[in-house]
Amino acid sequence: MPIGKLFTLIGIALALIGLVLTYLPGLFAWFGKLPGDIRIEDGKKFIFIPITSMIVISLLLTLLANLFFHK
């Protein structure tokens, strides 16, 4: 795939993600609130490790990549 087409696809994908996050913010309200996501709050410190959320996103992106780029 030529680099120009790749950059165009990446730009379109980023624009779509921006529109979704702007107009449908509740769509990703689950992120960081799944069982297995680690949140540690102690006074001034805040540590957030979204392990389960990242696994779910990784699985979704892998599924999409296999659907679109499978030969």
Residues 3 and 37 occupy one common structural domain: no
Which residues constitute the domain of residue 6?
Answer: 1-27
Residues 20 and 38 occupy one common structural domain: no
21 vs 52: CA distance, rounded Å: 20
Residues 12 and 36 occupy one common structural domain: no
What predicted TM-score, i.e. pTM, was given to this entire model? 0.63
Count Cα neighbours of 61 within 13 Å in the Cβ-side half-sphere. 7
- pLDDT tens-digit series, residues 45-63: 999 999 999 999 999 989 9
- pLDDT tens-digit series, residues 21-50: 899 988 878 888 889 999 999 989 999 999
Mean pLDDT to the nearest integer, 3-17 = 91
Residues 47 and 21 occupy one common structural domain: no
